[in-house]
Each structure stands twice: as structure tokens, then as C-alpha cells.
Structure 1
């Protein structure tokens, strides 16, 4: 699974994380790389694009 981590420093990093790794271990590894977390997002491999607010004239 892909995890996008935003750090308090303003940097961001995408990690490819195996499903069997405990969350605590992932946090230790990520904090060792970039420092404390600001926000974490889970990225889907295939995101479908949607058209929003389309108007027909």
C-alpha cells in the first residue's frame, strides 16, 4: 500500500508499505526519515477521475 506522509517541516514523502508491517513500526521508520508527522494519506493505486460541475449549453 502507498502512504503519503506530510511532515511538520513541510516536506512530504511517499512510502510503499507492506501490509504486514505494524503501524507503530512504520511510524518509527517514517519519523527516522523525515521527523514528526503533520498528516498521513493513504493513496489508492487506481484513482478514477470524475467530472464535477459539468454544464451543457
Structure 2
């Protein structure tokens, strides 16, 4: 059985759920498509990464 990527935590099997490493909210942390950050924290980190000036 394959698990779709970016499942909301309430739809994710319990074996693939964990806590966000930043805010400790439940998230799809393990397995295919898992991420140590929840959707909110990941969006915040990505937005800061895009606005950060590149080092020369």
C-alpha cells in the first residue's frame, strides 16, 4: 500500500504520524512524503528562504 504525499495528519495512518520538530503539532512525519515540519512551519521556513538574500 502506498501513502499519498502531503496527507493532513488526521488522514495519515498513525504509524506515519509524529510531532513537528518546530511547533510540536501533529504532522505526517514518517514514510513516503513525510517531513519533520508541519505544513504551517514548512510554509514559514520556505517563505523566509525565498526572501533571504543570497550570499556572494
Question: Could you say which TM-score interval applies, normalised by the shorter chain?
Answer: under 0.3
Question: What TM-score comes out, normalization by structure 1 length?
Answer: 0.23
Q: Radius of gyration: which is bigger?
A: 1
Higher RCO by CA contacts (8 Å cutoff, separation 6 or greater): 1
Question: What TM-score comes out, normalization by structure 2 length?
Answer: 0.23
